[in-house]
Amino acid sequence: MDKSIIEITILDVRQNLRSRWFWVYSLLFGGFVAIMFAMGITESQIIGFVGLSRLMVTFMQVSMVILPIYVLISTVRSVVGDRESNVMEYILSLPVSFTGYFWGKFIGRFIVIYVPVFIALLGAAIWGTITNIDVPWNLFTYYSFLLGAMVFCFLGIGMFISAIARSQDMAVSSAFIIWLILVAFLDLLLMGIMLKMRMNPEIVIGVGMINPLQVFRTAVLALFDPKLTVMGPASYYILDIVTRNVFIVFAIAYPVLLGALLGILGNRHFNKNDII
């Protein structure tokens, strides 16, 4: 393995651990779980979810709102920001490969974004064990992978934008537009309208299946009985056509592959062009 990947990863993680955003972000997710416990969410029952399942589903829904835009905005600045500030000129005058630099940053970001979210989820499970609440370990494992897949996917999108953008402003604007498009193609918005207009369901499902946000949203609820009011029309159609197990595998594999593909394309662009 390229030594510079490990060194850049360590450097990136160390830098992020010192930054204020990392601690605010970690406290946000940790604090959210603590508040949910304090508010007695595990004792409430809404749409069939109780106990820690209820807490985890809520946690995932909040993650779906916060994580993608957060990952995008914090990542798109990384490569282009280093380029604009001359950091890249210096670091890449050292024996660091382009690939090592790019993937080192990618892995470093993944660690600092995923670990706090995972720890918050794990903390909930541990607290549940201590307070004698049944811990749905299958759900915990599934959601941990699902969160990892989503973070990886949006990191891939963010790093790709960061590699090709010529300025931080352009990178942030592009990230925001992409996020808006993905949100617009969720069940509750455009997908619902598309179905109401009686468009071919296969097209609607196709659009849903390529939207990582939609895949995540459907996957979060896929373990439970699909109810149209909860899941939205596209999720309902998707789960009606493919079996739940197939969709679960798809929901983890697809975002990872999409993130990896965009990461590879970003790295390729980075390798083949002027870096400053």
Partner 1 sequence: MEDLIKIKGLSKSFKKLTVVKNLTTNFAGGERIALIGQNGAGKTTLIRCILGQYVFDGQLDVLGMNPRTHRKEILQEVGFVPQTPPPLKMTVKELLEFIAKITNTEKDKFRELSHSMGLNIEDNLSKPFFKLSGGMKQKLLIAFALGRNPKILLMDEPSANLDPAAREILFSKLKEFSKNALMILSSHRMSELSTLVNRVVEMDLGEITIDKKVN
Answer yes or no: are the C-beta atoms of 188 and 194 closer than 8 Å.
no
Residue 10 or 28 with smaller CB distance to partner 1? 10
Beta partners for residue 46, in sequence order = 49
Instruction: Indicate the residue among 18 and 196 with the shorter CB distance to partner 1.
Output: 18
Question: What letter represents residue 168's amino acid?
Answer: Q
CB neighbour burial string for 124-149, b if at least 16 within 10 angstroms, e if fewer: bbebbeeeebebbeebbebbbbbbbb
Mark 30-61 as b/e (b = at least 16 C-beta within 10 Å).
bebbeebbeeebbeeeeeebebbbbbbbbbbe
CB 120 within 8 A of CB 59: yes
**Minimum separation from the CB atom of position 14 to partner 1 (A):** 6
Tell me how far, at minimum, the Cβ of 2 lies from partner 1, in Å: 9
**Shortest approach of partner 1 to residue 34 CB, angstroms?**
30
Compute the least distance from the CB of residue 168 to partner 1, in Å. 14
Specify the residue, 89 or 225, whose C-beta has the smaller distance to partner 1.
Answer: 89
Residue found by looking up tokens 């390798």 in the block: 271
The smaller minimum CB distance to partner 1, of residues 4 and 267, is found at 4
| Footprint on this chain of partner 1 (rule: CB under 8 A) | 3-4, 7, 10-11, 14-15, 18-19, 85-87, 89-98, 272-276
**Nearest-approach distance from CB 272 to partner 1, in angstroms:** 7
Whichever of 91 and 190 has its CB closer to partner 1, that residue is: 91
